[in-house]
Amino acid sequence: MTDTTTDTAGTVDVRGRIPEQGDGCEAADILAAVRTHVDPELRRAIDTLPGSLRGVALYHFGWEHADGTPARGNAGKAIRPALVLTAVRALGGDPAPAVRAAAAVELVHNFTLLHDDVMDRDTTRRHRPTAWTVFGDADAILAGDAMQALAQRLLAEDPHPGAPAAAARLATCVMELCAGQHADCALERRSPDEVTLDECLAMAEAKTGALLGCACALGAVYAGAGPEEVEALDGFGREAGLAFQLIDDVIGIWGDPGRTGKPAGADLAVRKKSLPVVAALASGTPAAAELAELYGGRPGGTEADPGDAARVARAVESAGGRDWAQVHAADRMSRAMGQLARAVPDPAAADGLLTLAEFVTRRTY
């Protein structure tokens, strides 16, 4: 399925609107085009939820205020649906019949966000109060449960021949996401010197890489690709996901508060075991010992102390945590490129996926 000239019949209705690969389009164009296709499918699906939980879902997606009045919407960047549809196209398939699967992936992503926010007691998501703070824990849990069911129903009702395999793959991915969130909670409870870098990388792969990989793999399934190409695209998404997480962790420490929307060093203030920190702690340098003392010293408060955060950030940097994260992110991206080339040898066909991978991993900070 690497010949992009095959299987393009019947794509007229979408091809004119989802930007082609190799036409030099920006990631923002792809994402905007994907939104115009996936959002209506998503809203149609959410409209079938029972009334009592629909409002929680609409609030979470930013389409309604807490009082049920319409909101302008900030449902996230739609990276995962974009990966599904761009992967279909990269493998020479027609993205139109995969829009439902793309919506299912986005529902799964958002169901896990709803539940993670409950567990982590996070109070802000996409610049708004999290659903559990507005509707209570029970309704946030129930809306998440219903959204997982909705995702699976979209695939169960999808007549596409790839739908059952996609449903099984998405379900397996949910289990991995759950294991990743479990590992995250468990790691946070342990003291910094009890946590290994391998554990943190495995957690990040399960929590972030798995769904990006699944999104790409579902695109391959909908393109009718063979098992090797499906696995290679899964690998591409996973590796790019890891690179994304590494860069995200760097931004969490050294990012510009004006861009991140979080106070400088917020991750450090709560003593988060992010990848640069754990790498720094494992470095065996004198700065690592200083960092261990700072990080193990006191449990982080909710208020960031700029002086403390700056000290910790300097120690992480001196111990090589920032460099390690950037080098490791580049390494993951190069592995991602290798997997992509396995599945899609034609660079023009691979361009859309490449653009998205670069978008998520080369954010400025």
- Report 24-63 residues binding a second copy (CB under 8 A): 48-53
CA 212 to CA 21: how far, in whole Å? 19
The DSSP secondary-structure symbol of 20 reads P
Binding mask 171-190 for a second copy (x = CB under 8 A): xx-xxx-xx-xxx-xx----
Is there binding between residue 146 and a second copy (CB under 8 A)? yes
The residue (of 207 and 332) whose beta carbon lies closer to a second copy is 207
Is there binding between residue 165 and a second copy (CB under 8 A)? yes
- Report 312-351 residues binding a second copy (CB under 8 A): none
Q: Mapping DSSP to helix (H, G, I), strand (E, B) and coil, where does residue 165 land? A: helix
> Closest separation between CB of residue 201 and a second copy, Å?
16
Sign of the C-alpha dihedral, residues 267, 269, 271, 276? positive
Half-sphere exposure of 27 (CA within 13 A, CB side): 17
Contacts by residues 229-234 (CB-CB < 8 Å, ≥ 24 positions apart): 229/1, 229/2, 229/91, 229/342, 229/343, 229/344, 232/339, 232/340, 232/342, 232/343, 233/87, 233/91, 233/339, 233/340, 233/343
> Closest separation between CB of residue 134 and a second copy, Å?
15
Q: Which of residues 138, 310, 327, 348 is near a second copy by CB under 8 A?
A: 138
Tell me which amino acid residue 145 is. Answer: D
> Closest separation between CB of residue 210 and a second copy, Å?
11
CA 113 to CA 85: how far, in whole Å? 22
Is there binding between residue 164 and a second copy (CB under 8 A)? yes
Q: Which of residues 118, 220, 240, 278 is near a second copy by CB under 8 A?
A: 118
Of 18-26, 29-37, 84-92, 151-159: span binding a second copy (CB under 8 A): 151-159
CA 204 to CA 198: how far, in whole Å? 10
Of 14-22, 124-132, 163-171, 287-295: span binding a second copy (CB under 8 A): 163-171
Is there binding between residue 167 and a second copy (CB under 8 A)? yes
Look-up of token digits 């509707």: 135
Q: Which of residues 20, 137, 317, 346 is near a second copy by CB under 8 A?
A: 137
CA-wise closest residue to 98 among 30, 160, 35, 167: 160
Q: Contact residues for a second copy (CB under 8 A)?
A: 48-53, 111-112, 115, 118-119, 137-139, 141-146, 148-150, 152-153, 155-157, 163-165, 167-168, 171-172, 174-176, 178-179, 181-183, 185-186
